[in-house]
Structure 1
């Protein structure tokens, strides 16, 4: 991995609240101009106007003719053009059914992404709406309960649009929120298979007491969950539903949905539980984490304004919440241990994220949060 010089002023979101120097070099004007020339639908390069603070890739807004485009660059070990084609196909499908998503620009041969050296690039037209949350951390709450309600309603509309998308689940790409462990009759065996298929993750966990740690979480938080989940219809889902992945109308409604990098085949209740887990609990407060039950209820109420949810489905969401992050946390640990060779960040993904988030639901605050959601619903 080559690392170009970085502008001293550019910082990205870290695993906590502090901004950090980016791992991936920023996109330069010369680089953007060269990539833009590969996309026949793009106008002439006019300059860069914003660098994204998201940490897992490099991205910019740039001027091209009379429009603003979004250029995103991934390391090829994270996303290949073929891997991006999977999420672009999902975006095109739901976009044709009324969900507003960024338009993917194409090269003259029809490709929606290009590879160049160690990098993979994709280029989007900017979707309509106000980017209210673009500088905020991913795991921070909605600014208003009305936003949480509208986000829930928008998620339901996405699920309706996705019902007839029949692509299989994505492969073992880093940083994808798969759903194979928690629904399994034997989640420990499924975890073993998941880890064995990712050599860097297996090497990182070697010597750790990860088996008893995971077994404890499943025994305490997952009793009877697999049986409840197995009857649910599979569905391609967003899997990263938080405010900064949404654009907004001036009246507070959702105008567009962005960032389908974690999308794959899970189920609707997995997506709903993820939306609550990402936005209604103060994970970035290390001292005393709290849960905002009103935000969770607003998401569910918004969803139910479009699609019904039975009492049994609410109960499944409540029981899924403590474990819904498990596979993405493992994927993050794999990314840090394998792609970046960063043991410290891998430790944060394993201890603070995977174990710590699940354990929060074992304590009084987490139990009360779950109880209030179920009681209100």
Structure 2
């Protein structure tokens, strides 16, 4: 689904696989060592003994969390090969094996899988979005897109006639067909225009989807930020409030109230609404040359004002590079022109976009709790999001000029 991550680099810690490990397990362990994923393969279970097989020193630390773990099974790390093997056995593939990991979303773990015939797949474990029904909904939605020839990655049906497999710890897994391509190239304005064109097509096709959504905790309803700003901030304070965060939360509330004064709930409700991808950026799609060949990652899919999806796209494809907030007018206007080739954008939507751009970074309690459960620092996430809001606010004058 996604092309491989950073160039392989030999791990500073060498490990020797136990004789009880299978050849496939040893191979996966070696590949993950080479890719610098010290935590990607931890303990494995020997089929004969059912005892843990520890093929690494006790002092080896998880690179993602900086903690030592004997068996690598603390939450937030990729599952050991025994679990991967058990999951793969439930799919109708000929001797599949995991051969490496992708540098992909921080919300999920993604393994490259190859079968005996050389076909490639991506096996995804949903670390934060752990509701199997939500994952099934996302697969149904992707299949709807595919039925209308919108490019995505096809999910493989398991032997249970279900695309989702749930492991013993409750994590859902899905196997997707591999799509070859490259992420967005920030030097290619043609790709920015193509991304805008494809977002309009996505909105068109999504309008024909019939079926109720299973809610996701990965995205908050944008309406809450303008309808009940005090409640949004109080939830954060009650869950994660510490003295050093209080001033930031007070400023956050004031900013939400300022936004709500112009983008009040009635005005927001009047904007054209539909299904939103909600995470439309260059690492969630693949290109060949300047054509998009796959849109990926539907974890944040939900209904809302389409202007929110559009302005997020402008912020993502007009920036100078990943992590930058500086907008490039040529890329921004190209993205909007691509969108307008298929769908119009109303004056009301354009007027709401600067406020929606800021709200795209607004923190909320549910996602922070999910991060905390994944052994990440929710306070650091809140501070990072608030900084993102400030940086986006600083770009709003330039954004308004682009939207004219």
Say which of 154, 172, 179 aligns to 1:120: 172
Q: State yes or no: 1:242 paired with 2:271.
A: no
Q: After superposition, what is the alpha-carbon deviation per residue over 1:176-225, rounded to whole angstroms, capped at 9, x for unaligned?
A: 3543423x534434x269x38xxxx8421365436523321123334321
1:39 match: secondary structure: coil
**Partner in structure 1 of residue 344 of structure 2:** 308
Q: After superposition, what is the alpha-carbon deviation per residue over 1:228-268, rounded to whole angstroms, capped at 9, x for unaligned?
A: 32112432221111111112133x11122111111122231
Kindly tell me: are residues 356 and 47 of structure 1, through their superposed partners in 2, closer, same or farther at Cα, counting changes over 3 Å? Answer: closer
- Asked if the contact 1:132/1:247 (under 8 Å) is kept, the reply is yes
- Asked if the contact 1:29/1:48 (under 8 Å) is kept, the reply is no
How many Å apart are 1:309 and its aligned residue?
A: 1.3
Q: After superposition, what is the alpha-carbon deviation per residue over 1:281-334, rounded to whole angstroms, capped at 9, x for unaligned?
A: 468668xx522233222211111111111233222223321222325x655423
**Partner in structure 2 of residue 320 of structure 1:** 356
Q: State yes or no: 1:367 paired with 2:402.
A: no
Kindly tell me: are residues 112 and 205 of structure 1, through their superposed partners in 2, closer, same or farther at Cα, counting changes over 3 Å? Answer: farther
- Asked if the contact 2:91/2:158 (under 8 Å) is kept, the reply is yes
**Partner in structure 2 of residue 85 of structure 1:** 136
- Asked if the contact 1:235/1:268 (under 8 Å) is kept, the reply is yes
2:387 match: secondary structure: helix
Say which of 202, 219, 222 aligns to 1:176: 219
**Partner in structure 1 of residue 72 of structure 2:** none
Q: Distance in 1 between matches of 2:201 and 2:305?
A: 14
Kindly tell me: are residues 120 and 324 of structure 1, through their superposed partners in 2, closer, same or farther at Cα, counting changes over 3 Å? Answer: same
**Partner in structure 2 of residue 136 of structure 1:** none
**Partner in structure 1 of residue 200 of structure 2:** 156
Stretch moving more, 91-100 or 151-160: 91-100
Say which of 231, 235, 255 aligns to 1:217: 255
Give the superposed CA RMSD.
Answer: 3.0
**Partner in structure 2 of residue 17 of structure 1:** none
- Asked if the contact 1:188/1:214 (under 8 Å) is kept, the reply is no
Say which of 142, 152, 158 aligns to 1:101: 152
Kindly tell me: are residues 228 and 282 of structure 1, through their superposed partners in 2, closer, same or farther at Cα, counting changes over 3 Å? Answer: farther
Q: Larger relative contact order (C-alpha < 8 A, sep ≥ 6)?
A: 1
Kindly tell me the number of residue pairs found equivalent between the two proteins: 336
**Partner in structure 2 of residue 253 of structure 1:** 291
Task: Return 5+ residue gaps in structure 2 as ranges.
Answer: 1-28, 39-61, 66-75
Greater gyration radius: 2
Q: Distance in 2 between matches of 1:236 and 1:100?
A: 17
Task: Return 5+ residue gaps in structure 1 as ranges.
Answer: 13-19, 134-140
Say which of 4, 15, 22 aligns to 2:64: 22
Q: After superposition, what is the alpha-carbon deviation per residue over 1:331-377, rounded to whole angstroms, capped at 9, x for unaligned?
A: 5423223x1344xx322211122x112222444xx2332232223xx
